[in-house]
Every structure is written in structure tokens, then in C-alpha cells.
Structure 1
Amino acid sequence: MKRKLLAITTAAVLGVQSVVLLTPQQASANFDQLVREETTKLSPGVTHSEKRYASEAVHVLKVDLNDSFTELDLNVPGHLQTTTNQAKAQHKEGHQVVGAVNAAFFNFSSGLPVNLIAMNNRLVNRGIIGSNANSPTHTRVAFGIGADGKGLVHGVSLGMSLKMDGASLEGTKMNGTRNEGDIVVYTPAVSTTGTNPWGVEVIVDGVGASVGNLPFGETATGTVEKITYNGEGGNATVPRGGFVISMHGKDAKDLLNGLKVGDEVSYTNTINNPWMNADYVMAAGPMLVDNGKVNITMNTSSSFAANRHPRTAVGVDKSGEHIYMVTVDGRQAGYSSGASLVDLAQYLISLGAYDAINLDGGGSTAMAIRPQGAFQPVLINSPSDGYERGVSATLQAISTAPTSTPETLVFEKEAEGGIVEGTSMNVSVTSAMDKYYNPVRLSASDVTYEVVGNIGEMEGSTFHATNEGTGKIIANAGNATGEVEVTVVSDYDELDGTTVPVEISSLDSSSGWSADQAKAKASVATSTAKKKQGSASLQLTYDFTGSEDGTKAAYAVATKPLEIKGQPEKIGMWVHGDGNTNWLRGVIVDRDGESHTIDFTARDKFTWSGWKYVTANVPSSAILPLRFERIYVAQPTESLQAKGTVHFDQLEAIYSDSYTAPISFSDLTSSHWAYSNIQQLAQEKIINGFPDNSFRPEASITRAQAAIMLVREKGITPGGSTDFNDVSSSHYASKEIAAAVDAGLLNGRSETTFAPDAPLTRAELSALLVRAYNVGDDPAGTSFPDVPASHWAKGVISQLASADIVDGYPDGTFRPERATTRAEFSKLMISAIR
């Protein structure tokens, strides 16, 4: 009998979260296949969206500045601190940080931003600009909140206006190194000018205000205390209540126009008009979008711009009232590759950005959010370094809404897909939210449960299924409510579930496990170095080399035996062997407390090195419900008793005799848009991974690899030879290429060349699929502007498009000469077969 059970934890939050699962669709060059989108309201004015594309993982915070409870702040702590910790540090009642992203470029040594920062209409850091067009900050552009409370992305111009009797000067820099032609203003932020004697310096005192902290547009006036000319001074001391004007150049003395000791000099900090009286200004770069069009203010062919990296960006809509803060994860093969700046700009436009700017990215890219019902912000994206980097500044979306009474319950049940009559499951309210999405603390005693429909009864937070049917469990806490639908069936065969395994333990941590031993030494630990799935594995280290005689064993024991849902056929897990010869076993315990030993291997058959998926049969005599107690390694034979370390990952219950363990690739997760197609082809041994256990889904598939897959899938025996000059008999795919050509499935690129190691183009893929599978019936159907009637593949491309097997791009093009990725080939081959 096949028994199916789906046991995963789900959260039911009423009216505040939407999840959309989509078939792949086109959006832009690197955001062309949207696989999954989940949108969650974090506060009255802030929404978080997680978007999974074929090769990108994107997070978007949309901030509505029209909302009276919503603000967007700039936080500069003065030292390096992670985005999440910055958010937590500013998070408090009435000022809840519901979302944050890293922001400014920074200096690792000082921990401070390297570009311009202004806050409350005062200059905080004048900063630097890039030295050439390959620098992202070559052109000074910034994001900020203007005097009208709206978002701004605009160029920035700073000025230092100096006026004296008979002369006006414009400073070229502040507190920087004086070079030829410079007019440098030194403020009390530095003690001395650090200059040589070969210049003119005017020491001004009696200002009575800090020049460096002077609001934009305001003027400070002081009196000339001293003037030194070429060869007379240098390295002047800056008065605590004044400033020094330091000039270099042959005309420096003439610029003073007769200025003398005792004369007045006034100083004004200026900034261009869009930024006057702004809440804050933060320079970064380059500009990405200007007036709704892509406008990259740096060399777009530079590696910084053209390569795919993790990215952080911020954009504003045309009104300036809606802000888009975006992170794109990168440098993580099989999960997210990152984006070029052009792709990032196009993506921001697709979101609604009218103006946008790039922020610090790479290993700094990070986003934190306060999840629904949570009391603190948490990291939500996946930083490329594997950990969150400290940064100098963050943009923080703030909710000032007061906390009120709970209205919505975040409600969980431990099983989805049905429950069998006569069994039980736990339900719980994990948290509650008020009308402003603020979390509200609840104790278990605050919550009552009721069952609607004659399907069972509640005992505390435990649901006991008594009758077949469909109903609801409703949780109440004052005026707050949450509900979840439950289906009760009479037997496991009737569960509307799945034949995939159900997790017993991820084995991602040694917490909840202890070591035991028989005539041996043993220890357990968490291992992040060796893992098959998730973040870590359970490590068991054993030593059977002691002098005591007899069978020796090392155990990883669950501190609390783990619940096994229903009656599985087998228990499975991934095991990393150490090459020693041992016996791998486990123990499950049934309802009556009787222990049942199960064998993952026969005696002396645990001999492999590396990862392997193993299963153990569950005895039919075990009385439900079952619990998993321990995994162990044993060796009865003295000559084989050694010491070593093994690892376990993803312990699961299997409910189908026909289940086959998935083939695991290091760079391919189950969330990948082509995962099921790749798995099907891999299980049927049509496609393989690489020796390093990677699949490389975004790598181009070559013409030789396509020939191999075609021959395998069509059941054609490889053999023969070709007349192609570039396919020698020693080529790894020579026989498959010969067989595919003989069968009329593939052609050469000319009479004498096949180009076996060249990427397979989209046009060649279209021809291959039509020849091999005879799909589509309208060669005159769908057309694309870049596939003219004269194109050799026009007919087959139209034929596939009419059969909905291939699509074009958002701009209506097909791009027939673009290389086909291994993931694309897998998906389209399966689509054609079907």
C-alpha cells in the first residue's frame, strides 16, 4: 500500500500577504523568467516583495511617503555595523524599522562613508568623487529626501563662497591636500593645514560658528588675523572659531586684491537648488535612471558596470512619493548571479522608478525587514560572502504608528494536505498584529480555539481528528482572529498530499543530539564544511581503536525522539562516508515503546567516501505512531575497527515504494525554475553534472552536449564517424555527434565544420526540437522583428512559438543567435517531449 503524507509548516495570515507562483515569463535580460513572487505588507506604508527569477533573487521594499506613519531615514552610526544591527539599534516603539538596505560606499579603515553626506541642511562629509569614468562616483549624484518630504535622485553641486573687501573667491575643496591652482578651506575639523610654505594662507578668526557645520545658504563672517605669502608660512594652525584659506598658484596673491589683517571675510556653504533644506543627501553612484530612461553616469563597458554583481539600488517614481529599495543577490551559482548596471536600471524602470541610483553593492548588499508578527528586524537576503558585512550607512523605512490592540493572528498548523482520522496535530498562534501591522505580544492563555465543521475537537492547542470531512480551526484572542482549513480522511492513501519525502529533521545542527558509544569513543558536532542540503550537517566522530574486545558502535542520539508522521515505507537520509568499512543503522521507537533497529546498509557495506543517499525499510510490525531515536555506526570485526568522521543530512520519511532520491547538484536548489526538468533528465541519465558535483544551469550548452542529450533521449546507439574537420575520433562526443547527424537531428555549421564546443544558439535549438519531436504546426505563425523571413530558422522558430514552447523577450525580439543555457535546454526539451 502506498502511503502519502505532506507535513510542512505553513502560516495563515489573513488579508496581509500574497504569494504568486508563476510560469516563467519575460521581464528583462537578467530578469526574464519570474518563477515565484511573494508580497507582504510590513506597515501601513511599506511593502516587501521577494521575487525569484530564473537566475536572480531580488528583494524590493516599496515605501509610500504619502502615508502619515511612514518615514525613510538615513542612518550613519560612525562605524561599521551590519545593516541588520543598524536597523535593530534604531528600532523602538513609535520608530519601528520595518525595512532597511545598505547604502553608502565606505572606507574599511575609518568605517565612514567616502562620498558626500548632508543631513538637516548641513554638510556632514564632503567626500570624494571618482577619478575617471570607470568609477561609479565619477559624477556626483545622490539620493535624499527633499525639503518637501519627497524622494529625490539628482546631481549634486557644492560650493564654498568666500567674499572679502573687493574680491570674491570660490573654494575648490575643504580640508584636502592643496594642489596647483587650488583654493582650499581648512576648518577646525583639522588642527593644521599640513601645507608647505609655497602658497598664500589667510587665517580668519572670530567666526563664532563652525564653518564645516554651517547650514547651506547661511553666511559666517570673521576677521583676518594673519596672512602669509610664499616662503613665509605653511602648515598654519586652524583657529577653533575660524578657518584658513590656503591658495597655491602664481596668481594667488593677486586674488586677495589687497586684503589685509583686520579685514572681514565671509564664508557661505552652498548646494544646488534641489537639495537646499533637504532632510538628507547621500551621494553614491552611478545614476541608473533619469527621467524614466536608462542613464548610466559611468563607463558601461567597465567591469564594475558590465559584470554581474550583487547590487543595491534606490529609485523614486515621478511624483517622488514612492521609493523603491532593491537588492539583487549575486555570485551564488544556481541561486542568483547578480546584475549588470544596465539590467539593474531596466529592472528599476519596470518597477516604476523614474529616477534611480546605484548604491554600494557586492558583499555589502543586504536587506533587513521586520517580518509580520516579529519584534525585531532580520536579514532577508543572501549576502554573497555567506555572512553580513558591516557597512557605514543604511536607508531605513520607519513606521511611527502606535501599537494598539491585536486584530490579526499569525496562525500555524504543523501539517498541511490533510490529517488522518484518529490522529492529532498541534496548532499555535505564533504572534499577533494590530491594524498598523505592529506585533503584539500574546501568551498561550490569551488564545482560544474552536472547530467549525464536525471533523474533530480541540484539547488546548491540539486538534484531534474524529470524523472525515473538511472544516476549520479558528483561533481567537480578544477581537483578533485567525483560521486555517483542515481536511480529515480515513486513511493515509486518501491524503491529498505528495509522494515526496517528509522531513523528520534537517540535521542542520547538533542541538538536540547527543553522542553515545559502546566500547568506543564518540562525539557529535555541527558541520558547515560538509553539507548536502541546508546550512550544515550532523557530524559523528568515532574511534573504534581502543583495546576493549567486541562490537563497537558510535551513536548520534536525538535528545527527544523525533516524530515520524503516519506509516512510512522507508527512512532516508544523505550520508557522507569516510571510506572506512562499517555498518550504518538506526533505531525507531513505536507507540508501545518497543525499539526497532533499521539498516541503512548491510554489515560492512558502509564503505564509500563522499555523499550518498541511503534508505532503511520500516518494519510493518511497528505500531503507530513512530519516533526516530538514533543513527549509529557499528563494526563487529576487530580487524576493521578504525576511527573516522561521518556526516548525516536531511533525515526524512518516505511514503512511496517507487520514490527515487533526487540527484543532487551543488549549485541547483529545488527553487530553481528548471529544477524539475533537470531532475527528470538527470534521473533518466540524459543529462549529467560536472565532476565537481555542479550542474551550472546558467552556463551555455554546447553543440556537442546537445548531441549527447539528444542521442540518449531518443535511444539512438552512438557510433559512426563524420567528415567534419573539427570532430576528431578522439573528441568525447564524436560518436554521439555522428549518430545525431546520421539521424537528421543536427547539421554542421558548414559542410566541413560542426563547431562541437561552440554554444548552441536559440535558432539551432529551435531547429533541433522541431526535427527531433515534430512539435508545432504553424511555421507561418508567430513572428519576431529580429527573425526576418530570410532567416534560415524562421519557420522552425515560428512553429515552436505557435506551440507555446518558446517565447520572445519583452521588447518583442527572439534573439536567435543568443546562446542557450543548460537550464533552458532542459526545460525546452521536456516541453517538446510532452
Structure 2
Amino acid sequence: MTEQVPLTYGAIRRTYEWSFDRNKKPVTVKANVVEVDLKNPYVKLDTIAGTGEQFTKKQSVRKMANETNAVAAINGDFFNTQAEGVPMGPQVSGGKLLATPPYLVGWYSFALTKDNKPVIDTFSFQGKIVAKDGASFPLGGINKTYYWYENDGVHVENAHSMIDGLYMYTNTWGQVNRSNDGVTVPTEILVQNGVVKEIKRPGILEMVAPADGYILRASGKADDFVAQHVKVGDLVVADYKITPQNPTFPYDTTALKTMIGGHTILVDGGQPANFSHEVGGVSGYSPVARTAIGYSQNEQYAYLIAVDSGLTLPELQQFMIKVGVYKGINLDGGGSTQMAIRPLGEFQTNLISADIGYERPVVNGVGVYSLSPKGDVKDIQVQGATALFPGQKASYSLKAYDSYYNPVQTDQMPAVWTSSLPIGTFEGNVFTAKAPGKTTLTVASGSATRSIDVEVIGGKDIASLKINASSTSLMANSVYTLTANVASKSGAKGSLPGEALQWEFIGFKGTMDGSRLTVDSIDKDVTEGRIIARYDGFSAMLTMPIVDTRIAESFDTSTPITFKGTDAVTGSVYKSPGANTTSVTNQALTLQYDFTAGAGTTAAYAVFTNELKIEGQPESFSVKVKADNSRNWVRAEIKDSAGNVQLISLSELANWSDWKTLSADLKRYNFAYPISLTKLYVANPANGHDERELKGQISFDDIAFQYRKATVPVKNSVKLTIDKKSLTVNGNPLVLDQAPVIYKENTMVPVRFVVEAMGGQLTWVEAERKVIVMKDDHLIELWLDRTELIADGVAVTAEVPPLLMTERTMVPLRVISERMGWKVTWDEKTRSVTLE
């Protein structure tokens, strides 16, 4: 066990790491277990159905938990991913029967009796509809989708459940379609308050069942029964109940508080149980994500288990036993595996366990609920900046929980803030930094306190300043977000707001608005742009290559494009409105696809009939994409002049629905230029195929390629001799007015001459007695008579400071050469230095 955290009074979460050998190879899996004390009156275990307590309206476990105010939840029963979205097994929620057990062999369920005693057993359903004349017909189930009977000794194996069947649908079934898959012809009957209100033969009632009634679906022999014995205005009686398959079990199934369907039994009597149902359909012997539920031997604790790093069912059995399960069953796993928990002090749950982090919409779940009263504040958590700058304001947010581990509304909680040093002031929960220094901010509410250490950083406190941009290249008429990340000499880290910095642009014209840079124009004949940011005497520079963007295809003309799919995949390509919504002539290419009949990895291609030939040697590729929230992959195919084909991944999760620009770096593919774009396509990989949408459409617009402007590197060679004014630059002799010297074992050189001879630029700032050296992506700032300097945004201390000799600024060569990346060669015999 690596962590144990209370969730609410009577429920805790434990995190485990389990190491073992699988096929003689070491394996470590991580799992989360929620333990619920069933004898604690302040906590409740119950099931959740879909959205708004209605089936057919699937949603993620996290959303289910938040909708019902659960402190924790896991996914529940298995379901047919191609049907309406209802559980295969039974469900009782809050004592209300929502769904009945199926006629399937060895399907176990978990339940709590009216005394909160845990039960794991197999259950059956007995029900009938009794007509006014006394005739009756068996009721097949309540809120069930179609399935195929197994060899249970009663039904014909592999028979469709709806043939000759009569089924009840309540308002828990949240849609009009009631299991109409085309195999049977339905007749539907509306019953309200026990009275038949309407009969549709054949056909469906275009409504959801009312709260005071239900809808019966009949077909085959059941329809014959309705025709002979039921008419509008008749009283009918629905008589049904859930029963244990073993009638000797003593509990009262008519008064169950909660129930969730599962699959095979896994643990019985604290030992691995024989599987009660075949497990090939749930990848039983493959290591996949798993969900399970069980209880302890003394029947006091229930365990909700989620393993997202993969176990076989035999491995899961062993894990369950290790964490205390005496009897337990398998719940839906794989892509359905999810556990959400509410962190201390928060009102919403977070996903903490899931298969590859995917929140699959599922049909039901098991939730943990707090029944405790409000308690006194037990602890406070503070969130806010730990590094500030003079004049900056910081708002500190609070989270708190009470003595029952339930969240407290902090905006209604009295709180007193103090600072250990007077380097700032408070107004409510907002701290305004006034002067550099370190302080401790403390908040108190009742007997609960919490502190946070804060450093107010001045220029002299900065160890490094790094500028980042939202793109790696610079283009005219573009907008970028710039961030300035600071680390202090004490280790504190923070982000400087854009308005606190002085900005300088070299190579282009631009304006800043907060942290947003708008590039208005690029200077003529430049190949890179420099962005310099300064704060309180500290500086950093970002150099960005300037690129040209060329549109290769806008789809506004009749470029021949055809549809192609992998086996059994259907679809089409057609023109649609483009990304530029203000233009009536702007068009896009829409790729419509249907993967329903496909198997394995499926793909739908938009194929350029005549390959789209791309000029030159682009470094990157971009395309505007309007996706469909399908979570499918978006890709392109490029062929080079050698005939090699590369698949270019643009997105492995199409989870948006508006226009978005996707891009890919082409440099890593080592193309033989020129290249051609041959396809744009959507793919659904075999792994997790059913967890992504099988039908949809994705649009493409403005295929563009980016080209970096060519640069000619400057390669100079400078040779100087100590105490001599003569030197050579690229072999040409020159004379200095101040010779290089040795000062305190450091070689001092005239900085302007050396920098300019090596192709750099130098600026002297008289007011600060400062030298600014710039070359390529390097920026160094040095001050006369100061050993502290700033090199590429990092504070550095030199062995000796720059000095003024015969009106020339002399700097230690080592500082300049190391930062500029120059190669330095020392010749002891001639006491000469060569820079290259």
C-alpha cells in the first residue's frame, strides 16, 4: 500500500503497487481500492444509472459521481456497446428496482439487504402480466435490451430474447426505442395506474414511459396474448420479483437497498473461485484494466476495486484476496474501467483510475455517499503563487474539510490572513507584494491553520529567466503567447506577467498585449527574429527562425479527390463550407466514414487522385481540421521521390468539434525531396476499436507547408597574442589600440573588437556602464567592475570583472567564449589565442 486517504467518514481510498512474476517476467501493477464501512451510519453505498437516473443515457463515472454528489464511484455492469446502453444484469438503486436479471448462466450480482448486509449471489426474475379476464403471460424482464439465451435448461440456446417475449419499460428507460433491433416486430401497450391507455399494433409509442406507469413491448406469442386478452380501458396487473437462484438463501430480495449486476464470481471464502461463466469474452487471460467489487469476511467492509495497468482474471483473484476480499465478483473492465474520487476539500470528483485515461460513457456505476452532518473545520489547504514580484497581486484560494472529511464552503468560512514579514499587504485573500524578500503567509479558521512560504523576487534574486513562445517559428500576421518563467537563487519558481517586462524585438515589428505578441511584419532579408525581455536589470532572449507558409491546397477549386476505405468501411468525400466562415466562396473537404462493419484497424481515406506535389523542402506541415468528437486518429500520407511512404500522425484523439489547426514536424522523416501528399484519412485502431465512434465526418481545409529561410553561417577565425596589439582576422593582419593581457590568471580581451570580428554585435549602455553582446541565439550582459553577469538568461559569476583599460572595455575571454560556443586554442610557446 503506497497511500491511504480518507474520503468521508466511513470510507477510505487505498492505493497499491503489486509486484509479481508473469510468465517468468517481473510485473508491477497499480490499483485503487475504496473501502466502505457498511456498519457506519454516516456512509452509504448505492448504485447509479446513466444520466438523471435513466438508462440509455450513458456518461462517464466521474460525471455520474458529480451528478449524484458521490464521494467516490466505479463503473458497474457489462453492457452491449452496440445496443441502447443498459446493463446486462439487474440494478436496484435506493431500494427501487431499475432492471432485472437476465436469463444467463453464472452471472453474479452484488447487493445490500435492508440491514446493509452484503450479498453476492446469482439471481432470477419471476414475473407475469395478468389481464382483466385472469389470463396471464410471463414477463421476460424490466428495462432489458435484446440478448441471446444461454443453455440454462429453460430457454432455447442462442435464441433471441425478444422473440415471443413480453417486456416492461419504465421511465428509467430514457428513450423511445425499446430494443427494436429489427429481429422482431413490436406491439407496445401504455399502462398508467394499472389501466391500459393505448395499444399500438404493430408499432412503437413515440414516448418515454410516464412516472405513474409503464410501456409493455410484445412480440410473437406475447403479441397474440395481448390481441386476445388486453384492450384499451382494461385493468392489468404486473406481478414480479427478483429471487435468488438458490431458494434456500434467507435474505428478502423484495427489500434490497441496492444491487449491481456483474459477471463471474472471482473470490469465495477468501479463495479463488472457479469461474461461473466463460471468461473469453472478457479477455480473462489477458492483462487488461479491471473493475471488481467484494466484501470482507466479517461483512463489515465493501471493497470497490479498479486496476488500470492490466491484470488477468486469475491475477485479479489473487489481488482481491490480498486486499481483504472474502467474496467478490468481476464488473465491466477494459475500456469501461474507471474510478473517480473526491479529493479532500473538494466538491467534485476526479478520475484517478481508467484504461489509458479514457473516460468511456457507461451505463451504470456504484457510488459512495456521505450521510454525515456538518462538522467543525478540521484542515485547510492553500493554493496560490509561491513566487511573486514587487507590485504583483496574488489571489490565494482555500479548500477545507470538516471533522467528517467532507468539504467546507470556504467562501462562507471565516478566515484571517497574516504575513510573517511586512513585505506586502492583504485585502481579503489577495496579497500585494511590495518589496523583495521571503515571507510566510498563514490563514486561520477556528482551530485550523495552514501556511504557505512565498518569495517576492527582485532582479538581484533571479537565477534564471527563460522566454517561451507558443510556436517554434515566426510568421508575419500571426499571434503568439509568450511566457516568462523565473527561478530565484533560492529555488523558488514563478511566471512573470507580460506587462511586468520590457520587450524588445529585433528582425520584426510587433506589439505586446499582456502576454500576447502580435507580429505585424518581418524585416527585409532577415532569417530570424529575436525577442528580448528585461525585468529589473535581468534579461533573456528568445531567437525564432522566420518561416514562410505556402498554401498547397485550399479545396476552393475542383481538385480530384476520391474515397477509399479498408475492408467493409464505407463513406464519401464532398465539398462543404470552409474554415473561413466570413467567405461564401471558401470551401473545405469533408470525409464521411462508417466503420460499423469493419474489423480490426479501420480507416477511411480521402485520396488525391493526382498526388499533391509539394515544392522545395518544407520543414513542417499543417492543416485545418474540423473534427467530430469521435476520438479517432487523424493522419496524412506523404510519399517522397524515392517512393517511400510515411504515415504522418496529426492527432491520436479527435476530441473537438470546431476548426483547429494541426501540424507535424517533417524534419524527422528524412525525406528524399521533392515530396507529394497522397492521402488525408481517419483511422480507428484495433486496440479499443469500440471505444471510439464508428460513424462520423471530419473536414479539412488549407493544407500548408512551412519553409525556413536559408541562413549563411559566419565562420571567422581571430588570432590574438598576449601583450601585443597586432592580430589577424581570417588571416588578415590588424592592429589594436589595447593589447590582450593576463589579469589574475584570466585572459582579458577588448570585447568590442573580438565580438564584432566573430560576427556578433555589441552595445554599450553608458548610464549603466553595461556591455550587451549578441550573436545568433546568445545574449550576454556584463557590467564594468562587477563579477556578476547574465548569460542567456542565467545569472553567472565570473572570476574577474570587466575592466576599463585605455578607454577600452576588457572582459575575461573564458566568459564570452564558453557562452558563445567558440573554440579557443591556446599556444603556450607564442602566448597566442585563436578563436574559431
> TM-score range with shorter-chain normalisation?
0.3 to 0.5
Structure label with greater radius of gyration = 2
Q: TM-score, normalised by structure 2?
A: 0.44
Q: Which structure has the highest strand share of the two? A: 2
Q: TM-score, normalised by structure 1?
A: 0.44
Q: Which structure has the highest helix share of the two? A: 1
Give the structure, 1 or 2, with the largest relative contact order (CA under 8 Å, sep 6 or more).
Answer: 1
